[in-house]
Amino acid sequence: MKRINCSPRPGWQQFAQSVGFNFHTFDGEPYWDETAYYQFRLQQIEQDLEQPTEDLHQMALAVVDDVVQSEQLLQQLAIPEAYWQAVRDSWHSAQPHLYGRMDFSYDGTGPAKLLELNYDTPTSLFETGFFQWVWLEDQLMRGEIPQHADQFNSLQDKLQQAFAELALPQPFYFSSVADSIEDKGTVDYLMDIALQSGLDARYIAIEQLGEADGQLVDLDGYAIEGLFKLYPWEFMLQEDFASTIISSKTQWLEPLWKSIISNKGILPLLWQKFPNHPNLLPAMFEQGQALKPGWVKKPLFSREGANIELITPQGKTVKETGPYDDSGYILQALQPLPKFVDSYSLIGSWVVGDSAAGICIREDNSLITKDSSRFLPHIILD
Amino acid sequence: MSREFKRSKTARLIMMVPAAGLMLTGCGEEPVEVQVYNTPDECAAYYNPPAQCQAAFAEAKALHPKVAPRYSNKRECETDFGAGQCEAAPVIANVENNATQSEPQAQSQQSSGFFMPMMMGFMAGQMLNRGGLAGQAPQTASKNASPVASQPLYKSRDDRQTFRTASNTPVASQPGPARVKPSAVKPKPAVKARRGGFGAQAARRTSSSFGG
């Protein structure tokens, strides 16, 4: 695994705008960064990332099966009691899931270590599945990259196949928070792929969803029978329409049982069930103990690195503030991200259905990866 | 290398690229055949199995209080549908009421204070098996599944010939088979939807994204 400097494609910003990638620059700082790329060997991809991703996915599903059978665990994950039965039902009726992303600390050697699972509302999907893919094709065409280079990125193929095979109700609605450009970009990409799979895909902002007689309805008052929501389950369970999660005849993507895997509490539960697994880090629920050097503290519910605090083995505290300060916490052994040149890099590994589907790389100047962390493309070359 | 490429074969966009200019919805919807009658007896007289006529009528009648247009007083309703053509609209029990109410019958009789037109006919969404047509094999359940729901029909004061859906879409001017576009006759709840019940947590927290 190497980081290689590379000349950006001339005019790539205009191309980005033309395909709806409106958040390639974030607060004046580059978000999409093609001044360099990461290079992997095929063996690193297949043995160290692809296979562990599929193994960890199955392990996480096994933990879900434990959690739905235990009131104590549902309690520990702070899932409101009123929804326990609905969570169980969604699992036992095998409500299908679409996608997720797990984040690894990996430097090219040794086992990749799982930092967390983003299994409810993962973003950076368009950047991975489309923009990174086009970047490679363009750079191959320009001769900037050796002709036999490849990329671990079957995301769009696998999403298209999933939409074709899931037998979703139609029309199928996609929703996100109205004024989040980034979230809308992710949802637009999913809708685009769904349309290509022949689905009647329609958009509705999460704030515009209607409720009539317990049924979720669209803007014209028609029942919504299928809904993809880029909106966290733990938010929905606290809001005015929460009871519709039980009463509405709506098939959800992601299904409600994903609220167990997207919860950081899955990390201590994985460690309890599979102690000393090479891809796992020691983790426990926080019960008032002080954060020690070499450990990280994460809220049960948080996103984009928010509200995470860590102490390096040398005793230096790194802390990220944020809006997720109202849930419990877990502690996880610190596996510092590898440093290439002067940036720390994190590997996101995608899962579609139950298959590994590619990777994305994020870089930051800090040990905590955030939504503003730069996205860099990668290649496979032997 | 034994494996094939590890990247997608193609990655194209159709919606996110405005230049592609594809028509995505609406056009090209095929009309489907339905049947329209004043009464179940009239339906049976058109060589349809009486049991199927009754079933379609019952479905339409059950839908009637849920989809019929609602008026705040009888006069406004009669302005649109004619004198003596309106009735009191029942309360549409919501989900909680259904679960807790010990006498659901009493609940559905209760008036909401609103008025609605009387049901003047019905549309059978399923293709009825015509008893009078010899040699036609019985259709299977899956073949029978229609994209159109059986539903109540109404007639306005100034046009007593035309059968209209609850959302005022004209569908036929005489009993018998008719052709309709499924999306134009999709029943829509008369109850006004509440909005804004999701999204409050996002509004409370400052973040550019609620994914991760």
DSSP A119-175: -SS---HHIIIIIHHHHHHHHHHHTSS-TT-B-SB-HHHHHHHHHHHS---SSEEEE
A237 to chain B: nearest residue by CA? B198
- Residue B128 has a pLDDT of 63
Q: Which residues contact A15 (CB under 8 A, 6 or more apart)?
A: A9, A134
β B32-37/B176-180 pair status: antiparallel
**CB-based contact, A127 to chain B, within 8 Å:** no
- Residue A324 has a pLDDT of 75
| Nearest-CA distance A118 → chain B (Å) | 7
Structural contact between residues A105 and A113, judged by C-beta atoms closer than 8 angstroms:
yes
- Residue B48 has a pLDDT of 87
Which residues of chain A make contact with B186, given a CB cutoff of 8 A?
222
Q: Which residues contact B113 (CB under 8 A, 6 or more apart)?
A: B72
Q: Which of B209, B21, B20, B19 is nearest to A127 (CA)?
A: B209
Give first-to-last CA distance, chain A, whole Å.
11
| Nearest-CA distance A122 → chain B (Å) | 5
State how far the Cα of A40 lies from the Cα of A214, in Å rounded to an integer: 51
Compute CA distances A9 → A21, A74, A133, A271, B10, whole Å. 16, 49, 14, 44, 20
Which residues of chain A make contact with B189, given a CB cutoff of 8 A?
212-213, 215, 217, 221, 223
- Residue B101 has a pLDDT of 40
Q: Do B198 and A20 touch (CB under 8 A)?
A: no
Substitution target from A158, A183, A325 for chain B, most B beta carbons within 10 A: A183
**CB-based contact, A326 to chain B, within 8 Å:** no
Q: Do A153 and B8 touch (CB under 8 A)?
A: yes
Q: Do B195 and A322 touch (CB under 8 A)?
A: no
What secondary structure letter does DSSP report for B72? Answer: S
**CB-based contact, B2 to chain A, within 8 Å:** no
Q: What is the mean pLDDT of residues B114-132?
A: 80
Substitution target from A43, A47, A179, A206 for chain B, most B beta carbons within 10 A: A206
**Token digits for A22?**
């409106």
Question: Which segments of chain A have a pLDDT < 70?
Answer: none
Give first-to-last CA distance, chain B, whole Å.
35
State how far the Cα of B97 lies from the Cα of A86, in Å rounded to an integer: 20
Residue in B93, B94, B199 closest to A177 by CB: B199
State how far the Cα of A152 lies from the Cα of A49, in Å rounded to an integer: 10
**Token digits for A74?**
């549902």
Cβ pairs A/B, distance under 8 A:
185
Q: Do A209 and B211 touch (CB under 8 A)?
A: no
- Residue A310 has a pLDDT of 95
Residue B42: left (phi > 0), alpha (psi -120 to 50), or beta?
Answer: alpha
Q: Do A217 and B5 touch (CB under 8 A)?
A: no
**CB-based contact, B100 to chain A, within 8 Å:** no
DSSP secondary structure string for all residues of A2-65: EEEE-PPPTTHHHHHHHTT-TTSEETTEESB--SEEEEE-HHIIIIIIIHHHHHHHHHHHHHHH
pLDDT, tens only, A185-202: 999 999 999 999 999 999
- Residue B31 has a pLDDT of 87
pLDDT of B73 > 60? The answer is: yes
pLDDT, tens only, B136-170: 444 433 344 568 899 999 999 999 999 999 999 99
- Residue B94 has a pLDDT of 46
Name the average pLDDT for chain B: 79
Q: Which of A68, A80, A124 is nearest to A99 (CA)?
A: A124
Give the three-state DSSP class for B124. strand
Structural contact between residues A86 and A236, judged by C-beta atoms closer than 8 angstroms:
no
Q: Please give the helix or strand (H or E) that residue B76 lies within, else none.
A: helix B74-81
B1 to chain A: nearest residue by CA? A42
Compute CA distances A148 → A11, A39, B4, B187, whole Å. 25, 13, 12, 56
Amino acid in the structure at residue A140? L
Structural contact between residues B73 and B164, judged by C-beta atoms closer than 8 angstroms:
no
A205 to chain B: nearest residue by CA? B199
Q: Do A235 and B202 touch (CB under 8 A)?
A: yes
pLDDT of B109 > 60? The answer is: no
**Token digits for A221?**
């008052």
State how far the Cα of A338 lies from the Cα of A358, in Å rounded to an integer: 20
pLDDT, tens only, B25-56: 445 678 888 999 999 999 999 888 899 999 99
State how far the Cα of B209 lies from the Cα of A125, in Å rounded to an integer: 13
pLDDT, tens only, B171-190: 999 999 999 998 889 888 77
Q: Which of A364, A361, A363 is nearest to A380 (CA)?
A: A361
